[in-house]
């Protein structure tokens, strides 16, 4: 498998992603022995639970400074700018952004910092992934009734790398429902794993909620866990009005994903996101940037 390329939206230029533990990830997802190890052990809750315990302990604090340096993280974007201010690695991992660094645009806005795929029709996703399988809405959402509601609709996937800001936000003004949990495994959502198939989303632990909006209908929001993601935590008030860009929750340590589903005809994604996806490339977006109207 070649290098993972993406488009930096701020410059329009193509870049190559640095994947943490890239060699291990390729072994797990591309070799027969690695795939067997993944099935038996790494997808299980125990590994992620142990990792979560360590990341919440004081022993993990010494990893913060090296992580910032190794991945060139710009700490001026955040409220706490000094590595010594955090209690443990997870405290750093779900650090809070400086709101001035993420102005909120118009229309539907990005709910997270991450690399995005935009499918105006969910069926279009079959052309992007290696296996070319149709995304199974019923399996992903857990009910045929809900799947029918979004059949023929649009889908946006935002993949958060471990180096990204890991709080997620509402994509529009509206009223959010209670969040429900669908238990599952803990497969990685790194680009090496995700490029294989969207089936990972239908197998992993994930949450489901809807945001009722005036112009965009009921936007379905799903947060998807992954290897080493100890928790998906919600911080919003249910059934109370929220603004576009306001915080919804955050992930504990690990790569993770936010999936947005729209009813048919309710949104038109930004041209650059659509075109880059058609070209087989993700687009790096930031919280609050306009992604559709």
Scanning the structure block, which residue is given the tokens 């998906």? 232
- Residue 166 annotated among the catalytic residues of the structure: no
DSSP H or E stretch at residue 30:
helix 22-30
DSSP H or E stretch at residue 282:
strand 282-285
Closest alpha carbon to 204 in 48, 14, 93? 48
DSSP H or E stretch at residue 290:
strand 290-292
Structure token pair of residue 68: 């910032």
- Residue 169 annotated among the catalytic residues of the structure: yes
Cα–Cα distance, 125 to 120 (Å, whole number) = 9
Phi, psi of 261 (to 5 degrees): -120, 140
Closest alpha carbon to 186 in 256, 121, 259? 256
Q: Which of 88, 164, 169, 188 is catalytic?
A: 169
Is the separation of the CB atoms in 270 and 12 below 8 Å? no
| Helix residue ranges per DSSP H, 123-232 | 137-141, 144-150, 191-194, 199-203
* Beta bridge partners of residue 232, listed in sequence order: 251
Cα–Cα distance, 227 to 212 (Å, whole number) = 31
DSSP H or E stretch at residue 145:
helix 144-150
Q: Which of 190, 222, 256, 270 is catalytic?
A: 256
- Non-local (6+) Cβ contacts of 76 within 8 A are 98, 101
Q: Which of 48, 60, 88, 113 is catalytic?
A: 113
| Distances, alpha carbon 137 to alpha carbons 37, 55, 213, 220, in Å | 28, 33, 22, 12
Catalytic residues: 113, 169, 256
């Amino acid at each position: 498998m070649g290098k993972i390329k993406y488009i930096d939206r701020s410059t329009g230029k193509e870049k190559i992603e640095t994947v943490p533990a890239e060699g291990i990830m390729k072994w797990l997802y591309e070799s027969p022995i690695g795939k067997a190890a993944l099935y038996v052990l790494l997808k299980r809750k125990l590994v992620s639970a142990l990792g979560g315990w360590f990341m919440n302990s004081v022993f993990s604090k010494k990893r913060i400074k090296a992580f910032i340096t190794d991945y060139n993280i710009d700490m001026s974007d955040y409220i706490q700018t000094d590595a010594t201010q955090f209690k443990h690695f997870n405290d750093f991992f779900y650090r809070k952004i400086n709101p001035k660094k993420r102005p909120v645009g118009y229309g539907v806005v990005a709910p997270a910092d991450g690399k995005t795929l935009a499918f105006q029709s969910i069926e279009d996703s079959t052309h992007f992934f290696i296996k070319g399988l149709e995304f199974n809405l019923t399996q992903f959402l857990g009910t045929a009734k809900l799947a029918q509601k979004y059949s023929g609709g649009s889908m946006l996937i935002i993949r958060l790398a471990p180096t990204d800001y890991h709080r997620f936000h509402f994509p529009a003004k509206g009223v959010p429902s209670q969040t429900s949990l669908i238990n599952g495994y803990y497969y990685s959502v790194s680009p090496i794993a995700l490029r294989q198939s969207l089936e990972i989303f239908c197998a992993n632990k994930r949450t489901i909620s809807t945001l009722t909006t005036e112009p965009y209908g009921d936007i379905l929001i799903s947060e998807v866990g992954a290897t080493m993601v100890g928790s998906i935590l919600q911080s919003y008030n249910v059934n109370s009005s929220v603004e576009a860009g306001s915080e919804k929750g955050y992930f504990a340590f690990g790569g993770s994903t936010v999936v947005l589903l729209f009813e048919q005809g309710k949104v038109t994604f930004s041209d650059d996101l659509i075109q880059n996806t058609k070209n087989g490339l993700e687009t790096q977006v930031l919280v609050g940037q306009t992604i559709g109207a």
